[in-house]
Amino acid sequence: MAVWVNSTLGAASDKVGGIIQTGPFGSQLHQSDYSDEGVPVVMPKDIVAGQINPNTVARVSQEHVNRLSRHKLAVGDIVFARRGDLGRQALIKPNQNGWLCGTGCLRISLGETLVYPSFLHYYLQQNEIVGWITNQAVGATMPNLNTAILRKLPIRYPPLPIQKRIADILSAYDDLIENNQKRIQILEEMARALYREWFVHFRYPGHENIPLVPSPLGDIPRGWEVRTFTDIADVLSGGTPKRNIPEYWDGDIPFFTPRDAPASFFVELTEKYISELGLPKCASKLYPPNTIFITARGTVGKLALTAKPMAMNQSCYALQGKIGIPQFFLFLLTLNQVAYLKTNTGGATFDTIIVDTFRRMSIIKPPDKIIAEFTRVITAIFEQIKISQQKIQNLRQTRDLLLPRLLSGQLDVEKLPS
């Protein structure tokens, strides 16, 4: 039986001459220093589900990277959010080598001779560790993490070969998850491209024989109509049960809020759940699968298709197609109208979409026959997206069951087959 060492992150760092440091101060990196191109700078907002989202990172020129070279990230480093939603961290991969640790983040670099980077990355994901970090954070309004707190963080690790074996097992699940995520991205882009081809560029089957005619929205195929959005879809509201009545909460009904808006098309899990008692006490119905939710306050215009029955709060609308308007077609149409919705918001304090926004929004409605033909083509793509998303959910559940057992030593990897 392997011996596990009880230590702290600071002690482990000191033992190998490691680094635990904050990112550059705000005075070292100004808003005017950022540019559209250059080297990515990792901020807390970019750390999502243990990874860095490359689509949201800001960038700076090489000149600023050279000036802030002590904050450059290397393969195997861990970058930690030090404010806001604490416990978020990501392992730096080979394609992220040389990126910058940004303001609002901390960098951990321990090398590979004592604590294996991937092992530490998974160790820090444990609920008890995230809870410890959250409890130690300072600041009443905005909890903050600092190097002194991170140095005190208790860690427990076995010999390196066992660390690597544990990391390899968990990484195998993450690799499968990533492969399915890439497949979803490809399928979603196929769906968007197909919609644009048919209904924006008007290159649908048989278009060669249909002339374009003038309309208030420009030239459109003969037989197509300019309608308002509410001619083709119902816009429905949501609400929140009273928070001070515990019986209304922590049930089995997913309760969608803008925080749950997914990066992909479908939403399956939510941060909060309500009970059967809570459902009739809010202004939301239990919406069926494939209902479209759109965020309407604050960050507006984020869309989600429900993968299962869900309720939602008052910061969203539910969109359901009227007769002859399938949900997948309506979803892609709405997605194509997001730019309009974002530029036609109201609200004195923050951006808000109101029902009148949808009533005023003009759209191009194709004949029912073309919508039905498009839906036959597109449904197979959406079903494949659902299947891949379910695989991801199953892989995550299995990984999350294994993680605490492996990292506590309860599951002895020396007894597992290679």
* pTM listed for this prediction: 0.86
| Total count of residues recorded for the chain | 418
Last residue of a domain, one of 106, 123, 156: 156
Task: Based on the fold, state whether residues 10 and 151 are members of the same structural domain.
Answer: yes
List average pLDDT for each run of 10 residues in the chain, which is 418 residues long: 92 96 84 87 90 89 90 96 88 96 94 96 95 86 87 96 96 96 97 98 96 97 97 96 94 95 92 95 95 92 96 97 97 95 74 91 97 97 96 95 93 81
Is 415 a member of any domain?
Answer: no
Residue 260 sits in the same domain as residue 346: yes
Predicted confidence at residue 4, as pLDDT, reads 95
Q: Is residue 375 part of a domain?
A: no
Q: What angle do CA 169, 45, 293 make, to 5 degrees?
A: 90
Question: Rounded to an integer, what distance in angstroms lies between the CA atom of residue 184 and that of residue 394?
Answer: 15
Directed axis angle between helix 368-407 and helix 160-199, to 10°? 170
Residue 261 lies in a domain: yes
Distance from C-alpha of 213 to C-alpha of 201, rounded to nearest angstrom: 14
Instruction: Give me 278's structure tokens.
Output: 């809570």
Residues 14 and 152 in one domain: yes
Whether residue 238 is found in the same domain as residue 341: yes
Examine the domain organization and report whether 135 and 253 are in the same domain.
no
Determine the pLDDT at residue 140. Answer: 67
Encoding tokens for residue 165?
A: 């074996």
Which strand (E) or helix (H) includes residue 164? Answer: helix 160-199
Q: Is residue 405 part of a domain?
A: no
CATH number at residue 128: 3.90.220.20
Domain count, the chain: 2
Closest alpha carbon to 167 in 403, 4, 412, 414? 403
3-class state of residue 43 by DSSP: coil
Residue 174 lies in a domain: no
Q: Enter the tokens of residue 60.
A: 């700076």
Same domain? 18 vs 96 = yes
Residue 289: left if φ>0, alpha if ψ -120 to 50, beta else—which one? beta
Domain termination residue (choose one: 346, 365, 384): 365
Q: Are residues 151 and 232 in the same domain?
A: no
One domain, residues 140 and 235: no
Q: Is 171 left (phi over 0), alpha (psi -120 to 50) or beta?
A: alpha
Same domain membership, residue 237 and residue 145: no
- Given the structure tokens 């048989």, which residue do they identify? 206
Q: Please tell me the distance from the alpha carbon of residue 406 to that of residue 171, in angstroms, as a whole number.
A: 13
What confidence score (pLDDT) does residue 347 get?
A: 64
Burial class (CB in 10 A: 0-12, 13-18, 19+), 271: exposed
> Do 111 and 20 share a domain, yes or no?
yes
**Domain-located, residue 166:** no
Which pLDDT value is given to residue 400?
94
Is residue 215, in this structure, part of any structural domain at all?
Answer: no
CA atoms within 13 A on the CB side of 90: 24
Q: Bridge-partner residues for 364, per DSSP?
A: 226
Does one domain contain both 233 and 106?
no
Whether 327 and 320 have beta carbons less than 8 Å apart is answered as: yes
Which of 106, 121, 156 delimits the end of a domain? 156
Is 410 part of a structural domain of the chain?
A: no
* 367: number of Cβ within 10 Å: 14
List the domain range (segments joined by +) for residue 51: 5-156
26 and 126 in one domain?
Answer: yes
